Chains A and B, each alone.
Chain A
């Protein structure tokens, strides 16, 4: 049973436009959410996180939104750049327990076209 779902395997956007990556979760115990970016032949790189006590967190071009009632989060990248082309993973955990055991979605491949 997939507890974290990224329903779009891929997304293509034009440079300069907004990229919106979506993630849904089913486990109501999750209270800490993270986004990772992964280039081929490299490990995932931490991008941004959000605690369930917030509904928005910004870091430069990256903003994560959390809708707890819908069990949905999204990552907005504005403006998108060709270097953002990568696989993006959504991850979640119950931080009341541990912050090392993450449950990951299967990823969304983002392609930013020049």
Chain B
């Protein structure tokens, strides 16, 4: 069974630009979550989608948004990039059943210059 796939693996953007990251969950998983990992803050929850609906959102500004498609694939968008947005962005999927753990992709490393 294929794991969670994230593209691209690496991105370099300039301040003020916007970026879109993509995630394909494990087949059969309908819940897709996004996390940001930085050296200072660790792994922080961004938001989660299920059946094309955002169910929960972390404490991030509105510049961070996402969506989910009918095939459960998800995209995350960051607008008006800031230097502090440089991070590893991780996508995770789950069966959304009790005690079903999150399975993570290998992430997209975003560098903002």
| A interface list, Cβ under 8 A from B | 32, 34, 36, 41-46, 49, 51, 89, 91, 95, 98-107
Q: B100, A99: Cβ atoms under 8 Å? A: yes
Q: Cβ of A42 and Cβ of B106 under 8 Å apart?
A: yes
Contact in complex: A100, B102 (CB < 8 Å): yes
Contact B101 A98 (CB under 8 A): no
A100 B103 Cβ-Cβ under 8 A = no
- State the Cβ distance, A104 to closest chain B Cβ, in Å: 4
**Residues of B contacting A: mostly:** strand
Q: Pick the contact of B42 from A49, A98, A104 — CB < 8 Å?
A: A104
Q: Are A89 and B104 in contact (CB under 8 A)?
A: no
Please determine whether B99 and A49 come into contact, CB atoms closer than 8 angstroms.
Answer: yes
Total count of chain B residues near the partner, CB < 8 A: 27
Minimum CB–CB distance from B74 to chain A (whole Å) comes to 12
* Structural contact, B33 and A100, CB atoms closer than 8 A: yes
Closest partner residue, chain A, to B88 (CB atom): A43
